[in-house]
Amino acid sequence: MTPLRFIFRFLVFVLVFVVVAEGWLRYVMPASEQPALRQDRKTLVMSFDPTVERDGLATLGRMTRRLGWWHVNNEGWLSPYNYTRRSPGGHLIALFGDSYVQGLSVPQTQHLDVDLHHILGPSAPVYAFGESGWYLEQYVALSRYVRATYAPDLIVILIGEGDISESLSHPGAFPYWWYIAKSGSGYREVPPSQVYVLTRRARLARESALFRYLRYNAEVQIPFAHGGDVGGAPTGADAAGPEPTTPQAEQQAVETALPPTRFMVARLCAANPGVPIVFAAMGDRYLPADAVATTPLQPEMEALREVSAGYAQCHFLDLRTAFSLDWAQHHERFEALDGGHYNAHADAVAARAIAAYIETQSLLGGAPRP
């Protein structure tokens, strides 16, 4: 066989393979689709671009197990509801979080915000603002945009270990996000160093099912597909770091987390005067119910509980109690197919706990219940 004929046959083979793979990964084993990111040049807030895709199917792994359909609403957020500014005298709950609120691991109709809205009723709409990897300083910056745009009368932040430390500027920090940095004896906010733009090459790549399979399902590192270009943001605070092993180490970790936590909580409260803020803290999901009270929170969450106690508008809800009681009663696990994020059952448990706290504390008006 001559070299020219070999090259010709090889190119034909590649063409046929690509055509067959595109069809297979679209209709038989659908490659995962991810919502496209965008960044507002004025507010520097990242959301999702409804002009690229409005709907898609998230799948997991090389065998493309289906997670659920997602939808980008009119304002660029993952929600089945269209967002509008709170009407005078009405209610509006803003729910902040990372990938747990973004919720690609469960069908959108079973997301935490949808469950919470169903429990609280039609007079209390819940708007979800979530993106994978976000942390506390992102929520501080996000709250300024949300207050100016939607005027919520209650903010709920789903938060976990890592959300404090990931807020600190560090080498390799994602250039499109907000951070804080040491400044003299205190801290200062550090705005994004770049404004994200979806490149034409990345936008075209998203049209290929084969490319999406390699990027999202097989997790192949493709040079120009870094970060938010086509793959979403780094997971950042989605995973907690190593835990202290002794009471002394735990206390030292709490003391280390207190100064940046004080700075960010103060900024958050100043940006939202008079608006109740509920920190719904994640933690161990399988503690015995009678052990929750005697088991310390992870250090950053303990620091957040201590700091929030100093602000009348701040509330701290330890979700471990709700999960422990549900586990003792139902023994139904809380992990999605990816093994880490909440599944639909866990979202429902968290929603019930948050709704009960809102109602007990009368955070949407009225006198607190005993």
Residue with tokens 């706290």: 357
pLDDT of residue 242: 56
pLDDT of residue 225: 56
Looking at residue 108, the DSSP 8-state letter turns out to be: G
Could you tell me the residue ranges of all domains in the chain? 94-194+233-360
Q: Decide: pTM greater than 0.85.
A: yes
Q: Which residues pair with 108 in a beta bridge?
A: none
Choose among 213, 266, 244: nearest CA to 62. 213
Q: Is 110 exposed, middle or buried (0-12, 13-18, 19+ CB in 10 A)?
A: middle
| Amino acid letter for position 213 | Y
Tell the CATH superfamily of the 94-194+233-360 domain.
Answer: SGNH hydrolase (3.40.50.1110)
Question: How big is the CA angle at 146 (ends 145 and 151), to the nearest 5 degrees?
Answer: 125
- Cα distances from 160 to residues 49, 75, 102, 236, in angstroms, run 27, 26, 15, 11
Q: How far apart are CA 313 and CA 311, in angstroms?
A: 5
CB atoms within 10 A of CB 182: 12
* Backbone phi and psi for residue 227, each to the nearest 5 degrees, phi listed first: 50, -130
pLDDT of residue 370: 42
Q: How far apart are CA 275 and CA 201, in angstroms?
A: 43
Two structure tokens written together for 140: 């501080």
Two structure tokens written together for 114: 């949808």
Q: Residues near 298 by Cβ (< 8 Å), separated by ≥ 6?
A: 160, 161, 240, 243, 283
pLDDT of residue 3: 82
- Cα distances from 103 to residues 87, 122, 251, 333, 350, in angstroms, run 27, 22, 33, 17, 13
Q: How far apart are CA 183 and CA 109, in angstroms?
A: 44
Would you say 129 and 95 are in contact if contact means Cβ atoms under 8 Å apart?
yes
Chunked into runs of 10 residues, the chain (370 residues) has average pLDDT values of 80 84 93 95 94 95 94 97 94 97 95 97 96 96 97 97 95 91 96 92 90 92 55 43 74 96 98 97 95 94 98 98 97 94 97 98 69
